[in-house]
Amino acid sequence: MIGSMSLSAVRSAVKGRHYGPDAHFSRVSTDTRTLRANDLYVALVGETFDGNDFTQQAFAKGACAAVVNDPIPGDWPVLCVVDTTQALGEIARLNRLQSTARIVAITGSQGKTTVKEITGSILGVNHSVLVTKANFNNHVGVPLTLLELDASHDRAVIELGASGLGEIAYTVRMTMPHVAVITNAAATHIEGFGDLQGVVTTKGEIIDGLSADGVAVLNADDRNLPAWKTRAAGKRVVTFSVGAGANEADYRAADIVLDSGAGVAFTLCTPLGELPVTIGLSGLHNVANAVAAAAASMEAGATLAEVKQGFALVKPVPGRLNILKGPSGSVLIDDSYNASPSSFRAAIDVLAGYRGTRVLIVGDMGELGEQSESAHRELGEYARAQGIDSLWSTGKLSALASEAFGNGGEHFVEQNQLVVKALATLGEGFVALVKGSRSAAMDKVVQKLLAHENKNGITQREIR
């Protein structure tokens, strides 16, 4: 945090009831296991837990005050509020208001985490930058990230995720970015949005939270660009592109080489000039992610030289097209972090670019609503059309992908059965890509394959 904050100041922002003496804090904790002396404890409430039950424990560990739902016995400094999660957001907003850092906020259906990491790498070349950790991109993770802003930071890169309408409006209000990036909008995790238009509307909420001198960085290759531009009326807008209309975009990629031997290579074209660059990632979609990150960084003050240096430092995000040494001399591409129809197609395109016997290992895609069955069938059809040699699946819905794939498609009821098949089959000349939604836990498939490179003598017991 930036300096200290008083409980009475928080009360003014959240309209709660203040009991006991005032208190000052410079750190906030929502978990008594990691709470430190003199922290403010915020008792969050979830579906399976109630932080109010641990308030006395927080004070016993040295908390200076607490934000709770109801008064507690004793003369402790507490602030009673209706919603402790919203109180956490208000405290984060107060801390953000004290910061002079240039803030970049990023959202989108796909690519936002990769864009976040690349942007952080670029801005970190010559600045002290705060970057969202892991997947701290929701209504709790964003405020916790903003509470890490301190006086040393002059840049911050904040990822904003959403599972329904209004969620980005909530988190962008506390983030107040100078640069807002929308990577794209797609039918991903659509159940909470109703339909694709709900996704488009929600992603556009990030524009509303821009500071007065802010800029929206928008994808010129996304068909929803006109809607977002309309929403950004009165604000500055720049675009990025890797598509056919790239010449009209402010930031674009030209002369793209997808298999450069060191990742993807291209000429980055910007308002400040052109630059040949290479970044250690795979696929055309990662060219788009890199251009988006360059645009965001340069709008936040980065130079072309810093962009090039930042690109050189980028490593693949875990679970996102990580190229690994697989069993028995095979190549294993770990893209198990998450999945949607469009990200699956992008991954298949990467796999199709490899020589050798190409195997797609599929787990279910979640939260697709009425499109669930058709999306999995289309996945199998697309893999076949792109020349993939085999498709192995696990999960009820993924069986439809194997069926649609036809000859070479196999389905396994149990994940371990699929692992046994892979360990018995993969070897020199094979390239296998593993992908599925988080709920499919395909990262476990990757872990088991990496743990058993010698396929001789593998048994079911050994891989459980």
Domains along the chain? 5-82 (3.40.1390.10), 99-312 (3.40.1190.10), 322-463 (3.90.190.20)
Residue 39, SS3 per DSSP: coil
**Cα(319)–Cα(308) distance, rounded to whole angstroms?**
24
Least confident range of 104-108, 184-188, 269-273, 443-447? 184-188
Q: Are 11 and 66 in contact (CB under 8 A)?
A: no
pLDDT given at position 457: 39
Two tokens at 5?
Answer: 């904050």
**Cα(436)–Cα(446) distance, rounded to whole angstroms?**
11
Contacts of 78 (CB under 8 A, 6+ apart): 18, 19, 20, 55, 65, 66, 67, 68, 71, 72
DSSP letter string, 211-265: -TT-EEEEETTSTTHHHHHHHTTTSEEEEEE-STTGGGSSEEEEEEES--SSSEE
Q: Are 446 and 374 in contact (CB under 8 A)?
A: no
Model confidence, pTM: 0.87
Other residues' Cβ atoms within 10 Å of the Cβ of residue 381: 14
The closest alpha carbon to 427, from 331, 361, 348, belongs to 331
Q: Is 336 a residue whose pLDDT tops 60?
A: yes
- Would you say how long the chain is, in residues? 464
Contacts of 404 (CB under 8 A, 6+ apart): 376, 377, 378, 379, 380, 381, 384
* Helix%, strand%, coil% for the chain, nearest 5: 40, 20, 40
94-149 pLDDT, tens digit per residue, is 999 999 999 999 999 999 999 999 999 999 999 999 999 988 999 999 999 999 99
248-289 pLDDT, tens digit per residue, is 899 999 999 987 567 899 999 999 999 999 999 989 999 999
Q: Is 186 a residue whose pLDDT tops 90?
A: no
**Cα(317)–Cα(336) distance, rounded to whole angstroms?**
11
Mean pLDDT, range 367-391, rounded to an integer: 95
